[in-house]
Structure 1
């Protein structure tokens, strides 16, 4: 369990808050909109109405006591930049700020953000990949080039061993886990025999995995 401060409760901030609470974290939220704070106050540990561009407001929150401070203001980049800078000046341990463009990310990182997120850009990219590729259940981007994908196996693999198919050489992927119903095998051995309804979690270049998925 971590202590979380979330500043700016728009659509993204609201979803982030709800998920952080679901994961049993201690969450404090801050927003200038009284209606939003009243609406969310029942599910969080603490909630405050305030303008976090003012140093005295941030200082009163004790920002250095939080494990992570999120700045999720979406409609006023100047405020986001000011708050990010103030958080670090006041001793915030780790600041994650929301950006919508690369130029915003550069300024946020220069002014104290430890990490910058692009929720709209990331969602658009994830949706594009999922809709462009057949048979992709889920994926996580590790770098712009490499991702982890969850995909079914090819029917031609059934009854063959992992070593016999030689997926690393033929498809340029690494199989991390094999799932079949409630059975999960992490780091499968080379002599594993593929079964019907096997699902694999693989690491590889996104283009290579998508190419494989489209053949299934």
Structure 2
């Protein structure tokens, strides 16, 4: 469990808050508009109304006591930059700021952000990959060119075990999990025999996964 501060409660801030709480974290939410806070009052650990461009407001929040501080202001870059800088100056341990453009990200990183996120861009990229390729049910991009793909098994793999197919050596991807009837089994045994109702969660380079997809009818 971590202690989390979320500043800015637009759509992204709301989703972040609800998911952080669902995962068992203690969450304080802050927004200068009272209406943005109201629906989170029953679930957030603490909810405050205040303008976080005001240093005194941030100081009273005790930003240094949180494990992570999220600055989720997307519509007003000047405010996002000011708040990011102030949070770091006041002792924020790890500051994650939302950006809409690369130039914004550069300024945020120079002014206190430890990490910058692009939710709109990241979702767009994920959807583009997912819907541009046949037989890709889901896709998560990782570092260094590697990604996790949810794909069906090749027809020639049906009835064979992961060991028999020798997926890692022959196709240069690793099987992280098996999804069947909505249930995910992580790190399946090498003797797991594949059938045509499953999806494979594989990790690898896109070029290697593309070679597998080219052989799926």
If the length of structure 1 is used for normalisation, what is the TM-score?
Answer: 0.89
Confirm whether residue 61 of structure 1 aligns to residue 61 of structure 2.
Answer: yes
Root mean square deviation, CA, Å: 2.1
Count of aligned pairs? 215
The correspondence of residues 63-212 of structure 1 with structure 2, limited to 5 A, is 63-143=63-143, 145-181=145-181, 184=185, 186=187, 188-189=189-190, 192-212=192-212
Secondary structure in 2 aligned to 1:156? helix
Runs of 4+ in 1 over 4 A off after TM superposition: 179-183
Q: CA deviation at 1:171?
A: 2.7
Q: Distance in 1 between matches of 2:6 and 2:116?
A: 14
Deviations along 1:29-77, whole A, 9 cap, x unmatched? 1111121122332221111111111111100001111111000001111
Give unpaired runs (5+ residues) of structure 1.
none
Q: Distance in 1 between matches of 2:200 and 2:116?
A: 31
Secondary structure in 2 aligned to 1:41? coil
Secondary structure in 1 aligned to 2:19? helix
Secondary structure in 1 aligned to 2:17? helix
Which residue of structure 1 lines up, in the alignment, with residue 29 of structure 2?
29
Give unpaired runs (5+ residues) of structure 2.
none
Q: Distance in 2 between matches of 1:185 and 1:66?
A: 32
If the length of structure 2 is used for normalisation, what is the TM-score?
Answer: 0.89
